[in-house]
Amino acid sequence: MSHYTTAVKNASTWRRKLFIGFFIGPALLLILIYAYWPIISTVNYSFHSWNGISKEMTWVGFSNYSKLFTADPYFFNSLKNNLLIIIVSLLIQLPLSFFTAYIIYKLRSKWGEISKVIFYIPCILNMVMIGLLWRFLYDYQYGTINTFLRSIHLSGWTRVWLTDPKTAIGSILIVVVWVYFGYHCLIHSAGLSSMPTEILESAEIEGAKGRVLISQIIIPMLSEVLRVSLIISLVGSFQFFDLIWIITGGGPFHRTDVLATYMYNQAFQAREFGYGGAIAVIILICALAATIIQNLWQRENAKGGGAGEI
């Protein structure tokens, strides 16, 4: 009787596993085909010289990577621009979106809810549309910015914003902050709305106000929300392509190139798919490294009684 019971349980377990596998299998197959296989193929291309058309690829080993780090100044400029985006996101975009969300949370009015919708609009617009919009705003002759400066008699401040090497990357950074400001503001607003009001009221009764309330009560309580926002910002900073490509195409003279636009330029315009593949691998490594470092930092803070505890 016990053998029969064991057999029935085993059969039931296998049926359950087959049932789960029946639903999970197709999704895993799609992920393998459209996510992991392209990564494996790109790594393979990075060790070859290939123009993307011929059937034959020439094995070059680590030559593409060696060229990147020893003989290509445009690669380091692209990497520097990616780091600038990260710095601006961490020091301007995220703090600004958090304090805006906090002000909306404190006001608790319908206008605050309306403002969140307005802030989020750029995130749902097509990036091509946004790029064309900002190209018009920055246009030297007819653009809104220069027209406004001329109207207030500050013609000396007008610039060819997107083609001047001194102002091009700064102009791009302004667009980056504007586009995703509302996205992070919405994340922070959701976190603030989910906080227990009893804890905040108790803290205020005890005298915690302003900077003390935010730094010692609210931020620790929102540590997981802020962590998600930080990871999205870090990983997203290495994935910028369409917006920059539409606004400047990486110019002038590669001054506004980021790793993604430079990779596209090398692979699909210069027909150096092996070299472009090496840049793509570097992008992947940078994104993974940023995520791992942030996770380790968060874990250490939690162990030390930092952001993970209240």
CB of 50 closer than 8 Å to CB of 274: yes
Mean pLDDT in residue range 62-91 = 93
pLDDT reported for residue 211: 79
pLDDT reported for residue 120: 92
**Residue 261 pLDDT level (bands cut at 50, 70, 90):** very high
How far from chain centre, in Å, is Cα 234?
5
Look up residue 167 and give its two tokens. Answer: 């102002």
- Considering the entire predicted model, what is its pTM? 0.84
Distance between CA 142 and CA 155 in Å, rounded? 13
Q: Which of 295, 303, 289, 304 is nearest to 227 (CA)?
A: 295
Rg of the chain, C-alpha, whole Å: 25
Mean pLDDT in residue range 274-285 = 94
Q: Which amino acid is at 88?
A: V
Mean pLDDT, the chain, as a whole number? 86
pLDDT reported for residue 300: 72
Is 310 a residue whose pLDDT tops 50?
no
Distance between CA 3 and CA 1 in Å, rounded? 5
Look up residue 95 and give its two tokens. Answer: 């703090």
Q: Which of 140, 106, 310, 104 is nearest to 216 (CA)?
A: 310
Mean pLDDT in residue range 9-19 = 74
Is 80 a residue whose pLDDT tops 80?
yes
Is 163 a residue whose pLDDT tops 80?
yes
pLDDT reported for residue 308: 40
Mean pLDDT in residue range 53-58 = 86
pLDDT reported for residue 13: 76
DSSP-derived letter for residue 53 is: S
**Which of the pair, 307 or 12, is modelled with greater confidence?**
12
pLDDT reported for residue 306: 45
Highest mean pLDDT, choosing among 8-22, 272-286, 293-307: 272-286
Mean pLDDT in residue range 260-281 = 93
